[in-house]
């Protein structure tokens, strides 16, 4: 067995008492003691160098890197996080689950797109309108996966499925309101049924069903594989249904609950198994999101605020205030410990959903931010804007 002499000097260390000038990346006094000393150095550059060297000294060094996550300098925290997130040790992974990296986020990539941007739930594909063509692209490579022709003289919106190449478009013309389901550039189904303009469209996390909301006050649930109508929630058909047009929809992560908001001044939760309205909340929203456990509802509106409600006590809400314009999109981080909002003011804001505390603001978009999503691991955030760009935010 080879002894672990982590406190002994190594070939890349500078030993106190030597005659040569100590390089910034050298561990003074050798071993773990040198790393520890530099982590208390007033120089940010010295502390960054110490964090980079820390993994050379085994578990003891990694524990010092974990401590550096609490360094007062964001630059040091950012390097510590970058070093640690590559590690597989259980104690490192456990430490990272307790650390919220979002205060360190910055723009790491900007991609030019068209208008009407949509982002897939996994953040790996985009759809955007370029003249008379809708392009579905791989966000990582920029490759055009397939094109869809815009429908002539139609008002359109579109969404992308979680993993497959399914692309769903709502199109409104004076005569028709239709749902088109495409896969890989091939039109599979066209579904008709709404009598008024289709104002909201979402796909369930398991990609099995599509929900649409309309100015005709109804919500319709469609089978994504067949395009067939499954059910309708409407004032003439369903007890406690909305009495005015639908403004937005959102599925719970487990796809058993659908949240809807209407200009009738209510937000409703629908149980898709029983096909009943399970809860009605007073309020209006133009974007909604449900937490990963399905217990917290976030609603953003034209009043520039986000309301967070525990569904077990919906009358007690937390207001998140700080944007200068209406809220266009909301998303929870995969672990549910953070919520992010996108606004017409061009900014994105991170919040603690349990306390309402503001964590961080991202700036960089030159126009209204219209959509956003987290990557599945929560290590990046992707946002789309009317400035015809999609930005990826994370830690370099």
Segment 319-348 shows an average pLDDT of 96
Averaged pLDDT for residues 351-367: 95
pLDDT of residue 15: 46
Longest dimension (CA), the chain: 89
At residue 204, the pLDDT reads 95
Q: What is the pLDDT of residue 255?
A: 73
pLDDT for position 75: 94
51 sits in the region (left: phi over 0; alpha: psi -120 to 50; else beta) called alpha
The predicted pLDDT at position 315 comes to: 83
Judge if pTM exceeds 0.85: yes
Query: pLDDT of 51-97, one tens digit each?
Result: 999 999 999 999 999 999 999 999 999 999 999 998 999 999 999 98
d(CA 364, CA 385): 10
pLDDT at 8: 52
Say what the pLDDT of residue 17 is: 40
Q: What Rg value do the Cα atoms of the chain yield, rounded?
A: 25
pLDDT in tens, 366-378: 999 999 999 998 9
Please report which confidence band the pLDDT of residue 7 belongs to, taking 50, 70 and 90 as the band edges.
Answer: low
Of 67 and 2, the one with more pLDDT: 67
- Residue 163: predicted pLDDT: 74
Averaged pLDDT, 158-168: 90
Please report the pLDDT score of residue 396 as a whole number. Answer: 82
Q: For 51-98, give the secondary structure using H, E and C.
A: HHHHHHHHHHHHHHHHHHHHCCCHHHHHHHHHHHCCCCCHHHHHHHHH
**DSSP three-state, residue 338:** coil
Q: Inform me whether the pLDDT recorded for 24 exceeds 70.
A: no
The sign of the torsion formed by the CA atoms of 144, 150, 155, 161 equals negative
Share of the chain above pLDDT 90, in %: 84
Predicted local confidence at residue 114, as pLDDT: 95
Quick one: pLDDT at residue 259?
98
> Please, what is the average pLDDT of the chain?
91
Give me the mean pLDDT over the 353-360 stretch: 93
Tens of pLDDT, residues 221-259:
999 999 999 999 998 888 999 999 999 999 998 878 999
Q: Taking residues 136-159, report their average pLDDT.
A: 94
pLDDT digits (tens, 9 = 90+) for 97-140: 889 999 999 999 999 999 999 999 999 999 999 999 999 999 99
Q: Which pLDDT score is estimated for 164?
A: 78
Say whether 280 sits in a helix, a strand or coil.
strand
Decide if pLDDT at 287 tops 60: yes
Residue 18 has pLDDT above 60, yes or no: no
């Amino acid at each position: 067995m080879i002894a672990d002499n982590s406190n002994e000097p190594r070939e890349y260390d500078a030993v106190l008492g030597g005659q040569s000038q100590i390089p910034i990346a050298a561990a003074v006094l050798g071993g773990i003691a040198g790393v520890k000393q530099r982590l208390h150095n007033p120089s940010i550059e010295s502390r960054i160098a110490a964090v980079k060297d820390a993994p050379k000294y085994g578990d003891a060094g990694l524990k010092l890197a974990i401590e550096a996550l609490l360094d007062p300098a964001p630059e040091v925290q950012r390097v510590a996080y970058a070093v640690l997130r590559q590690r597989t040790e259980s104690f490192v992974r456990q430490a990272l689950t307790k650390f919220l990296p979002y205060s360190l986020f910055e723009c790491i990539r900007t991609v030019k797109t068209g208008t009407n941007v949509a982002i897939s739930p996994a953040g790996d594909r985009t759809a955007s309108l370029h003249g008379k063509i809708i392009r579905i692209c791989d966000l990582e490579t920029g490759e055009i996966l397939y094109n869809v022709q815009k429908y002539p003289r139609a008002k359109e919106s579109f969404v992308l499925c979680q993993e497959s190449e399914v692309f769903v478009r709502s199109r409104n013309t004076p005569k028709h309101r239709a749902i088109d389901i495409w896969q890989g550039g091939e039109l599979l189904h066209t579904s008709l049924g709404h009598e008024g303009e289709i104002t909201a469209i979402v796909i369930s996390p398991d990609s099995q069903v599509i929900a649409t909301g309309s100015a005709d006050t109804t919500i319709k649930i469609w089978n994504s594989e067949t395009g067939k109508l499954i059910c309708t929630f409407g004032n003439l058909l369903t007890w406690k249904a909305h009495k005015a047009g639908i403004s937005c929809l959102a599925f719970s992560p487990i796809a058993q609950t659908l949240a809807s908001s209407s200009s009738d001044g209510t937000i409703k939760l629908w149980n898709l198994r029983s096909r009943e309205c399970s809860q009605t909340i007073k309020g209006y929203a133009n974007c909604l999101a449900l937490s990963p456990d399905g217990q917290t509802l976030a609603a953003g509106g034209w009043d520039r605020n986000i309301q967070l409600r525990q569904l077990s006590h919906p009358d007690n809400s937390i207001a998140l205030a700080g944007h200068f314009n209406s809220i266009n999109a909301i998303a929870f981080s995969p672990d549910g410990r953070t919520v992010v909002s996108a606004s017409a003011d061009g900014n994105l804001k991170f919040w603690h959903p349990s306390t309402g505390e503001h964590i961080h603001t991202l700036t960089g978009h030159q126009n209204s931010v219209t959509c956003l999503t987290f990557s599945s691991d929560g290590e990046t955030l992707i946002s789309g804007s009317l400035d015809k760009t999609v930005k990826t935010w994370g830690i370099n």
